[in-house]
């Protein structure tokens, strides 16, 4: 049976995935509007989305997965070794794709429509990549964690994901990102089923 701690950590991971998904859907919506010749918000909004995507996974979400969830799972089993190596590689790959997106966005701002197809394709590629990353975690890693981690393991993972062992220190980055997230989802409507319960 799941302990309350287990539910807290898992809930937090799923909530963070849901928020990342909403912002990525916002990015897709943005380029698809431009692609159809419809009015899209200014590129500053896309920059805000990219900033959120860059900061949230890199500073808040991935380090906790790598340093706590994946590390403790490795101590409990070898059965996930290949999957965890792949997911850690994807964390690094995701960061480089975001850097590429920033670069192509800058070119799009400077050079205009000739660069748009490259920009659109990279957003589509990033979305496909990141949705599949989260699916692998949700369908393989989280069920294995439920099965294999001990209550002591969960106490550590839970503490990390609810903020007591935040890998970043000082500034209220998470609060700032929450504010930015609300701003983004209010500017670009995500599909109704994905809207946050505010
Ligand atoms: Fe991840
Ligand atoms: Fe994740």
Show the CA angle centred on residue 119, arms to residues 99 and 40, nearest 5°: 115
> Confidence band (pLDDT; 50, 70, 90) for 174?
low
Tell me how far the alpha carbon of residue 137 lies from the centroid of ligand 2, in angstroms.
6
Q: Give the domain ranges of the chain.
A: 4-187
Tell me how far the alpha carbon of residue 135 lies from the centroid of ligand 1, in angstroms.
9
Q: Is the pLDDT of residue 176 over 90?
A: no
- Alpha carbons 154 and 75: distance in angstroms, whole number: 13
Q: Which residues contact 155 (CB under 8 A, 6 or more apart)?
A: 5
Angle between helices 43-55 and 4-35 (to 10 degrees): 150
Q: Which ligand sits nearest to residue 16's alpha carbon?
A: 2
- Give the pLDDT confidence of 13-44 residue by residue, as tens digits: 998 898 889 889 989 988 999 999 988 888 88
Q: What is the largest CA-CA distance in the chain?
A: 57
Name the residue with higher pLDDT: 120 or 57. Answer: 120
Q: Which CATH number fits domain 4-187: 3.90.1150.10, 3.40.50.10800, 3.30.530.20, 1.20.120.520?
A: 1.20.120.520
Tell me how far the alpha carbon of residue 62 lies from the centroid of ligand 2, in angstroms.
6
Question: In the predicted model, what is the mean pLDDT of residues 138-151?
Answer: 96
Tell me how far the alpha carbon of residue 43 lies from the centroid of ligand 1, in angstroms.
27
- Give the pLDDT confidence of 53-88 residue by residue, as tens digits: 888 777 788 999 999 999 999 999 999 999 999 999
- Alpha carbons 32 and 192: distance in angstroms, whole number: 17
Backbone angles phi, psi at 44, to 5 degrees: -60, -35
- Alpha carbons 143 and 156: distance in angstroms, whole number: 17
DSSP-assigned letter for residue 3: -
């Amino acid at each position: 049976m799941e302990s309350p701690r287990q539910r807290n950590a898992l809930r937090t991971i799923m909530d963070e995935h849901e928020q990342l998904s909403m912002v990525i859907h916002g990015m897709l919506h943005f380029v698809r509007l431009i692609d159809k010749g419809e009015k899209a918000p200014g590129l500053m909004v896309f920059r805000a989305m990219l900033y959120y995507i860059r900061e949230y996974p890199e500073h808040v979400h991935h380090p906790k997965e790598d340093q706590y969830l994946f590390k403790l799972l490795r101590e409990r089993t070898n059965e996930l070794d290949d999957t965890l190596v792949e997911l850690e590689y994807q964390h690094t790959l995701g960061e480089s794709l975001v850097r590429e997106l920033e670069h192509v966005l800058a070119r799009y701002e400077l050079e205009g429509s000739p660069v748009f197809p490259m920009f659109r394709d990279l957003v589509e590629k990033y979305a496909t990549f990141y949705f599949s990353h989260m699916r692998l975690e949700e369908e393989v890693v989280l069920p294995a964690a439920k099965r294999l981690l001990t209550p002591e393991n969960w106490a550590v993972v839970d503490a990390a994901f609810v903020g007591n062992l935040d890998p970043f220190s000082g500034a209220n980055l998470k609060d700032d990102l929450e504010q930015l997230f609300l701003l983004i989802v209010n500017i670009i409507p995500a599909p109704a089923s994905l809207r946050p319960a505010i």
